[in-house]
Structure 1
């Protein structure tokens, strides 16, 4: 139960506020971005300000490391292909406590850099899935009348649970911003609902979200990592899966009884995270309580959350360099991560429910310096995402936390620096672009792990089929070797050879590369020759000229030779139509035409010391850790909001056919 002071805080705030190419061999990148050069003055934020660059792991030697890698594809499909997935497979989980730093504080003044970033994904994938939630959703409370100084989120440190997460007070303007974002770009949303108190469920967030977001709200989460509730002090030490099932049913009944929540069949659960950590909870232990039979109709998604490693304060001292070699530059470990959910995915397929990795990244509690913010994390994220698609996940969401988090795909500058600095784009955001283009936007992509190079851990590869035909191949070279000695050449064949099928190898292939000089590089990263630059350098748009390489195939011998530098990720498009389907497309453009007159630039009221503690979670008892978790309110949803129009017109009006541009300078005054 939350302290008695929280309802009085909400009441006071409600009264206070009364408003709502030619064939060439590639070995290196070309980028003007500095490697890992921290800004020397007023530098706030883990990734931009941390100059820690790890040494690449020593390259292994042995007979299994072949520089000639056959890639045999079969017309008509291959065994064990995953279920059909879309280019929007790779999405983002946004911690609720920092969502206003990403969207903007006011529903009618959006942050254009965020829009630009999302546009780079939607141009390729067709749409993006975003989740707003995380640990900070559990005790969040909506203030129907809004918050002071036009802020969307206010943190009140209460120490209400063992994570020492601040209570969050949330303004409806945050949901207005989400609605207006979806009016500009094809973005669908998941919202995390409070679940810390079943006697005071606080239904307002679901009410507002359903009214404002409409069809763009595709899921509501009840229970974020419930297997950690006992350790975090949110539930008694005796809390078990059967108790979660009972609690879920109790709160579900409250939503079903609320006429302002008309759709109670879009819940996301059970979102357990850490059975492999020894706490005994798995999706199946929850299912065995009768969870699926009771709530099947109400579930839009079956969900899990999982981080492969743990950098929380109870995890001891871990060596990021050792983890990079053992866990992240290692396809076998990626396969183990996915395979532990093979049975769960089969249950979901049988039920006809999409199975989603609702929150993941390199390590819980913000990741590791030098690892989570390195090119290794980008390669690993591509490998992991495609392996999950192979194991029948429908989607996977990479977590975004506060400024202290190394794993962020993107991080805005501190509030007091945002008028003169731009955003820092992490390596894993590039992964989202690669996966979107690899899967295309047909919605019929089926992924198969090729177990390349005798299933070598350092050279994984995948084939992507659509309607029985191979369309793309994804190749990875985890090794770092500027000498070129660890480069390999993939020899791709379609049919023919010993397959007892006619040869179907194309006359040429198109190839795009994700490149960096080293697996431990932070900012010198390019996707198809383009980059987001270094620390504090990005306005959300790729810069540079796109580079696509054409390799002529040998149809007589039924083979296409594709060089793979060390390190690199490549997409091989087996036809021009396969490339054009998933390539960046021309899209409607929104030019800014309004200024926030009378408002100071970026007037967020979140203290930097509090903002910096926002992070994702993934295991253990977090005693003493500054994290993110909110508070509660018991007030009814205001009649004023029931009767008013809940979407505020956004100040972006002019449409053109040019490249998408949301210029930050036009928005801040």
Structure 2
């Protein structure tokens, strides 16, 4: 029996649940993907980087919550549209200099100085630095790259240019040649190989993708390339965004691209991603459905061998999908936190379901090769009124008499923190403004009989089962 869920939420009547059954492999299958130490990462729009780190109280605490789970601070990518509007000025003492017509405006031109890079150097995790290629001034970009290399012991990669397919007159073939040329020249200038992040396009592969770039590379450029990156914003409404089968089908376009990078011995990342492009959709991105999507999306992407997903944070005050820095916590932070909790200390991951329904089942394996956690997700929509549907997940292969689990839940798929309806994960919340975890941690206990256990997961809920 599942123990009573410790939560302030009233639990509505449930629809009689169907059952899906999976046998959990005792060891990671050969098809399982290898996990990065911290797959859930952060992207921060270039011009907002100093503000997120010096003016937003929640930033450090929100990031340290992930570090407490994984033992490593989340990787950060600093970039976006404004990286290709930003010129490096080694003489300015300011982090960044720009002007806008409103408090939430985006600058069309800006400069930044050494202190901008010093701030990145002070971060405790890996940093990918986005630099300007849009102005086609490689001399200026190399100046910034040299200073970054000299100051940043945490410099993971340099990204030259953001979404170049939107530049005037751009073609995929010409851009591939330019990316390769810049990778060689920047790498040589800073005397560093294994440093450049290539790709960084939003248009879907194969035209703008890793496979296309790899086909243009020779033994001169390849040593300088560290990672291939693509951007992804699947979009949808509160129902379709989180549907597991749609998440799987939308990701199909990246499979060959990821495989090409993996075969070439390079990592593939989603260097900028989130729910809906352009800062998010007010009716979708702040809702709890986005939390369920974030969890499922992060887990599924890693099963395809994507190493990290950099969830984008844009203009302060005008960012519906932001986890923090808005007027309140973003509900999707809960999904990201649950994903980190699920994969923490994991070595391998595999999806057991076929990806054709709304019900997802993932198994994370530890360093010994044994199952570490199962993640069960019900992506059915629930409006908050009437009967709430549920699904029973039956797992076999347990060797204990009982297992514990933590539940991600909210009152409805449309619940929003700014409307007083916060999700909970294991009975706990994250305090608005500070991101401090509050409440008493709650586990559920399920009895195992003959190696099998049944887990009921309500519509728009997820359960992390600890082996």
> TM-score, normalised to structure 2's length?
0.89
Q: Distance in 2 between matches of 1:66 and 1:390?
A: 27
> How far has the Cα of 1:545 moved from its partner?
1.3
Q: CA contact under 8 A between 1:101 and 1:412: conserved in structure 2?
A: no
Which residue pairs with 2:119 in the alignment? 177
Does residue 167 in structure 1 map to residue 127 in structure 2?
A: no
> How far has the Cα of 1:135 moved from its partner?
1.1
Distance 1:293 1:364, change over 3 A: farther
> How far has the Cα of 1:412 moved from its partner?
5.1
Q: Distance in 1 between matches of 2:273 and 2:218?
A: 23
> How far has the Cα of 1:344 moved from its partner?
1.5
Which residue pairs with 2:410 in the alignment? 516
> How far has the Cα of 1:164 moved from its partner?
8.0
Which of 441, 452, 466 aligns to 1:546? It is 441
Which residue pairs with 2:280 in the alignment? 367
SS at match of 1:564: strand
> How far has the Cα of 1:389 moved from its partner?
0.7
Does residue 88 in structure 1 map to residue 38 in structure 2?
A: yes
Does residue 124 in structure 1 map to residue 22 in structure 2?
A: no
Residues 108-150 of structure 1 show CA distances to partners (whole Å, capped at 9, x for unaligned) of xxx6532111110001012111111111111312222334xxx
> How far has the Cα of 1:296 moved from its partner?
1.5
Which of 341, 351, 373 aligns to 1:449? It is 351
Distance 1:307 1:76, change over 3 A: same
Residues 229-272 of structure 1 show CA distances to partners (whole Å, capped at 9, x for unaligned) of 23xxxxxx2x22221133224433442453xx232431001122
Which of 190, 214, 222 aligns to 1:296? It is 222
Which residue pairs with 1:206 in the alignment? 145
Q: Distance in 2 between matches of 1:342 and 1:102?
A: 33
User: Unaligned 5+ residue runs, structure 2?
Assistant: none
Q: Distance in 1 between matches of 2:110 and 2:86?
A: 5
> How far has the Cα of 1:510 moved from its partner?
1.4
Q: Distance in 2 between matches of 1:164 and 1:92?
A: 20
Distance 1:283 1:262, change over 3 A: closer
> How far has the Cα of 1:484 moved from its partner?
5.5
> How far has the Cα of 1:227 moved from its partner?
1.8
Number of matched pairs: 451
What does residue range 95-244 of structure 1 map to in structure 2 within 5 Å? 95-104=45-54, 113-127=58-72, 128-147=74-93, 151-156=94-99, 165-182=107-124, 187-202=125-140, 203-214=142-153, 216-230=154-168, 237=169, 239-244=170-175
Q: Distance in 2 between matches of 1:244 and 1:485?
A: 50
Q: Structure 1 or 2: larger strand share?
A: 2
> TM-score, normalised to structure 1's length?
0.63
Does residue 475 in structure 1 map to residue 376 in structure 2?
A: yes
Which residue pairs with 2:233 in the alignment? 307
Which structure exhibits the higher relative contact order, with contacts defined as CA atoms closer than 8 Å and separated by 6 or more residues?
1
Q: Distance in 1 between matches of 2:369 and 2:127?
A: 31
CA RMSD of aligned residues (A): 2.7
> How far has the Cα of 1:194 moved from its partner?
0.8
Residues 563-621 of structure 1 show CA distances to partners (whole Å, capped at 9, x for unaligned) of 212321111011xxxxxxxxxxxxxxxxxxxxxxxxxxxxxxxxxxxxxxxxxxxxxxx
Which of 272, 275, 279 aligns to 2:204? It is 275
Which residue pairs with 1:72 in the alignment? 23
Q: Distance in 1 between matches of 2:457 and 2:175?
A: 48
Q: Distance in 1 between matches of 2:326 and 2:115?
A: 20
Distance 1:196 1:157, change over 3 A: farther
Q: Distance in 1 between matches of 2:128 and 2:88?
A: 17
Q: CA contact under 8 A between 1:241 and 1:286: conserved in structure 2?
A: no
Which residue pairs with 2:3 in the alignment? 24
> How far has the Cα of 1:68 moved from its partner?
2.1
Which residue pairs with 2:337 in the alignment? 433
Does residue 357 in structure 1 map to residue 270 in structure 2?
A: yes
SS at match of 2:98: strand
Q: CA contact under 8 A between 1:484 and 1:565: conserved in structure 2?
A: no
Q: CA contact under 8 A between 2:91 and 2:113: conserved in structure 1?
A: yes
Distance 1:324 1:487, change over 3 A: same
Q: Distance in 1 between matches of 2:415 and 2:286?
A: 8
> How far has the Cα of 1:437 moved from its partner?
1.3
SS at match of 1:208: helix
Which residue pairs with 1:463 in the alignment? 363
Q: Distance in 1 between matches of 2:229 and 2:38?
A: 17
Distance 1:257 1:559, change over 3 A: closer
What does residue range 277-426 of structure 1 map to in structure 2 within 5 Å? 280-288=207-215, 290-291=216-217, 294-309=220-235, 323-326=237-240, 328-402=241-315, 403-411=317-325, 424-426=328-330
Q: Distance in 2 between matches of 1:566 and 1:489?
A: 11
Deviates more, 1:349-358 or 1:480-489: 480-489
